[in-house]
Structure 1
Amino acid sequence: MNRIQSFLDLHKGEEDKQKVLENVKANISFRGSTVWILACAIVVASVGLNVNSTAVIIGAMLISPLMGPIVGAGFSLGIFDFELLKKAAKNLLIATIVSLLVSTVYFLLTPFKETQAELLARTSPNIYDILIAFFGGLVGVIAITRVEKGNPIPGVAIATALMPPLCTAGYGLAIGNWKFFLGALFLYTINCVFICISTFIIVKYLKYPEVNHVDQKYRKQIKYTISTILALLILPSVYFAYLLAQEKKYHQKVELFLNQEFNENGVTIVYQKINYKSNPKSIELAFLNKKVNGKEEKTLNTLLKKYKIENTQLVIKQDTTDIKKLITENYANENSKETKKDLIILNLKNKLKANSFDNKGLREEITIFFPEITNLSIANHIFNENTDSTLTKTVAIYNSKKPLTANDEKKLKEWLTKRVKKKNIVILKESAN
């Protein structure tokens, strides 16, 4: 037990407590150069969010000085230094207001106001954001209290992500979207509070000396206040995490539906749009080489229930002009990974997949049910029905030690129909040379 305690002991390699407190206090104030650094970091982060560049956003987080007053608040709570807590809160408020002003002005001036994925990601916080903020904060304060600071500090700045939510809140103000503003501000609050709480825990664990003597009653009040704040942040976050999980499950079901009903049957989807937040939900599709009549569309809508996709309408886009417009919009989107070449390759792959059969596996299985069959090959063949049209049929050619009876051929056909999931299979016996 002593070995385990020694192995996990945070007191080893600890920096002098007084020196740590001096460093923490020095990083709280936002004056002069610190304000300029913050403003520049906010502009950089806003540009990154605006152009959807993760690398630029990470760069902005690395130069941001926002962690200072938050860690200072955590230390002041841990040592009951209420003057330091007031100073930390005041400077955090200044930093927040400056950040919101700079980001709002940037998004008001920029001509590009499209809502990018990086912006959307900061508008719906959930329980995972709490875990990231809390454990990221733990890493940060542990590193601060070490003699050897090591590499964690830059990583903590990236993981806890204080800058992007503030910039997103500024974006919400600039475009007048209060949902974006409040969602991003909620995420920022989560990050601040849980970094502060994790700092408080480590300060208490390392037994930093208390500045003021606080009686038991006042200590309980502080604990109740912290518990109430945590509950107010955790409960909505759990609910948002539940909604996120439901959305992911829905998208997984839709993906399964599209793969099994279209991709595996050689139908190339050139456009798809899932409107999860509409009521009813909708799935819009356009195909490269398939026409769907009204009856088929109704059948496909009925099939949605089989995949447990509820309250959803499937819409097939078939007008040539509309399809061209949709494809053009896809290509115009910088985030689209598909090109015309990719589309052709995808179409060919789907066709090959739909027209290929596991003949080796079929030959191994067929001997169990029909020992007299020595060879079997199955493939799709195109037959000319007339001069204007063709028909694709699945043909199975077998060789056997003795001729199969009509009943055996019927059983073979039924087995193959279920095994390869193809209807109207033509059974032929291989002719002797």
Structure 2
Amino acid sequence: MEKLISDFLKFINLNQGEEERGKVLDNVKANISFSGSNLWILACAIVVASVGLNVNSTAVIIGAMLISPLMGPIVGAGFGLGIYDFNLLKKSLKNLLVATIVGLLVSTLYFYISPFKDTQPELLSRTAPNIYDIIIAFSGGLVGAIAITRVEKGNPIPGVAIATALMPPLCTAGYGLAVGSYRFFFGAIYLYTINCVFICISTFFIVKYLKYPTKKQLTETNQTKVKYIITTLITILILPSIYFAYQLFEQKKYQHAVDIFLENEFTNKGIAILYKKTKFNQNPKKLELGFLTKKFTEKEIKSLNQKLKSYEINNTKLVVMQDTTDLKSDILNEIKYNKSVLSEKDVTILNLKKQIADNHYNNKALLAEIKILFPVIDNITIANHNFNEGTDSLKTVPILVYISKKRLEGESEKQLASWLQQRLSKKEIQIYSQINNNTPKKN
């Protein structure tokens, strides 16, 4: 049994593959400064992240996280706290403060001058942190601290940059300042603070676990003070996040009950719901519904309100929107919002549909018109063709192939080309003829 425990402890031992501690500390100290190139990189990363949040692009936001140097001073603060190097701790916190102020200024300026100020889902998701964000920040910080102390750094560092997500909440706070929303600002700054503090604390734990030599020997009383400060800070940050997590759980539970209610009382009875909106944060809560054709009497609405309690949907008022004007306005607002949150897949589909529409010609209608002007033509087909692909001189030209018993010649040929250019609003048309199913010949 003792051998099994010994083997297990050896298996999870972090001292294996550890980098020389002097080199680790030199590397940590080199990455905490925010001046020169690091400041420029931070400013550019802030702009990239702000654009990603502005256009709701997850890929762009991830790119900003990867190029951001914000992890440096936070890890430095964790090391400074772990080895009781208070000069390193002060320098790290000072640089983190500078980075935070620069990040807020750049993001606020961007969102202030940006013409697009719609609140995208990527922005909304950074305004109400909960206990899960703390777990992510702490776990990510552990991975980052472990990777920094290894000889082989490997892939964890970019992963930590993405998982801990320091840039988006900082940019969201800038958005809050730009649009004058203190709820956005304080919610995002709280999330940013959670990430910074728990990355720092997890680094502190790794430094202590690896038993890095302390720079200054503290008395037992002072060590106790440090532990009290860390405990107090953790408590202050955890309690609100637990409340937010509870609110999230209650909201999901409430929405599930609402979905069951709608399915049982309307969908299963063949009543089509045209509009649905839940206002969870109101008191009482409000469930707004609009229907395609069904009209409800006051008695039916009252009965539906009473049924809400049997589905454990408490403190909620059901509002059936039967006024055509109000319902139309709400539906248009909902459509406008949905348009702003189109996924990249939807945008790609729309672009492809546009390309298909641009390349489509109504051969049947064109044939009917052409036969009036040129009775000898029996059939046609027309489509766009790309010339000089892969070069700077790429051009798209409509190609018409017509089938007839007799080939158009001279003035008739010119008239057909001229008419098609005018009819299709194209500068250039190429025409080919096919006589008696032979190989097409260019006119």
Query: Shorter-chain TM-score: what band?
Result: 0.7 to 0.9
Q: For residue 210 of structure 1, give the secondary structure of its aligned residue in structure 2.
A: coil
Match of 1:269 in 2: 273
Counterpart residue number, 1:205: 209
Distance in 2 separating the partners of 1:224 and 1:34: 34
Deviation at 1:110, TM superposition (A): 1.2
Amino acid at match of 1:141: A
- Specify the code of the residue in structure 2 equivalent to 1:86: K
Task: Select 1:34's aligned residue among 17, 33, 38.
Answer: 38
Matched with 1:319 is 323
Task: Tell me if structure 2 keeps the 8 A contact 1:136–1:159.
Answer: yes
Give 3-state SS (helix, strand or coil) of 2:317's partner. strand
Q: Which amino acid aligns with 2:213?
A: P
Q: Tell me, yes or no, if structure 1 residue 234 matches structure 2 residue 221.
A: no
1:162 and 2:162 are equivalent in the alignment: no
Indicate whether 1:258 and 2:262 are aligned: yes
By how many angstroms is 1:125 displaced? 1.3
**Residue 176 (structure 1) shift:** 1.5
Hey, what does 1:286 align to over in structure 2? Answer: 290
Amino acid at match of 1:119: L
Q: Does 1:151 align with 2:166?
A: no
Aligned 1:376-415 pairs, distance under 5 A: none
After TM superposition, give the deviation of residue 336 of structure 1 in Å. 6.5
Cα distance between partner residues in 2 of 1:35 and 1:175: 25
> Which among 82, 85, 100 is matched to residue 86 of structure 2?
82
Which letter does structure 2 place at the counterpart of 1:279?
A: N
Range with greater deviation from structure 2 (326-335 or 251-260): 326-335
Aligned partner (choices 13, 17, 20) of residue 9 of structure 1 = 13
Deviations 1:208-232, CA, capped at 9 Å, x for gaps: 1111122211111111111111111
Structure 1 residue matching 2:293: 3-state secondary structure: coil
2:112 paired with 1:113: no
Distance in 1, Cα, partners of 2:120 & 2:335: 16
Please report how far the alpha carbon of residue 26 of structure 1 lies from its aligned counterpart in structure 2 after TM superposition. 0.7
Structure 1 distance, partners of 2:173, 2:342, is 26
Q: 1:131 aligns with which of 125, 129, 135?
A: 135
Could you tell me how far apart the structure 1 residues matched to 2:334 and 2:271 are? 19
- Give the AA of the match of 1:327: I
Q: Distance in 1 between matches of 2:205 and 2:74?
A: 14
* C-alpha separation in 1, matches of 2:324 and 2:342: 21
AA at the equivalent of 1:194: F
Give the structure 2 partner of residue 190 of structure 1: 194
Q: Distance in 1 between matches of 2:176 and 2:333?
A: 25
Please state if 1:63 is matched with 2:67.
yes
- For structure 1, list consecutive stretches of 5 or more residues without a partner in the other structure: 340-433
Q: Contact 1:45 / 1:167 at 8 angstroms: preserved in 2?
A: yes
Contact 1:134-1:198 within 8 A present in 2 as well: yes
CA distance in 1, matches of 2:299, 2:54: 44
**Offset at 1:66?**
0.3
TM-score (norm 2): 0.74
Instruction: Deviation per CA, 1:11-43: give whole Å up to 9, x if none.
Output: 111111111111111100001111111111111
User: Aligned partners of 2:211, 2:188: CA distance in 1, in Å?
Assistant: 35
Number of the residue aligned with 2:376: none
Deviation at 1:236, TM superposition (A): 1.4
Structure 2: where are the runs of 5+ without partners?
347-443
TM-score (norm 1): 0.76
Q: Letter of the 1:198 partner, please give it.
A: S
RMSD, aligned CA: 1.5
SS at match of 1:10: coil
Cα distance in 2, alignment partners of residues 47 and 294 from structure 1: 49
Shift of 1:289: 3.2
CA distance in 2, matches of 1:38, 1:305: 53
Partner of 2:101: 97
Extract structure 1 runs of 4+ deviating beyond 6 A: none
Q: How does 1:329-348 map to 2 (within 5 A)?
A: 329-332=333-336, 333-334=338-339, 335=341
State the partner residue of 1:369: none
CA distance in 2, matches of 1:336, 1:207: 51
- TM-superposed CA distance for 1:292, in Å, is 1.8
Contact 1:330–1:336 (Cα < 8 Å) also in 2: no
Number of equivalenced pairs: 338
Give the letter aligned to residue 19 of structure 1.
K
The amino acid that maps onto 2:50 is: S
- Aligned-pair CA distance for 1:327: 3.4
SS at match of 1:286: strand
Q: Is the 8 A contact 1:169 1:185 kept in 2?
A: yes
Structure 2 counterpart of 1:416: none
Partner SS state of residue 308, structure 2: helix
**Deviation string, structure 1 residues 160-179 (Cα, Å, up to 9, x no partner):** 11111111111111122112
Partners of 1:315 and 1:44 in 2: how far apart? 43
Q: Structure 1, residues 232-288: CA drift from partner, whole Å, max 9, x if none?
A: 111111122112211111111111111111122222222111111122211111122
CA-to-aligned-CA distance 1:286-311 (integer Å, 9 cap, x gap): 12232222221111111111111111
> Shift of the alpha carbon at 1:325?
3.6
Shift of 1:191: 0.6
1:390 aligned partner: none
Distance 1:150 1:267 in 2: 57
Name the CA distance, whole Å, in 1 between partners of 2:60 and 2:269: 42
Deviation string 1:160-210 (CA, Å, 9 cap, x unpaired) is 111111111111111221122111111111111100000000011111111
Residues 134 and 194 in structure 1, CA contact (< 8 A), matched pair in contact too: yes
Structure-1 separation of matches of 2:330 and 2:183 = 28
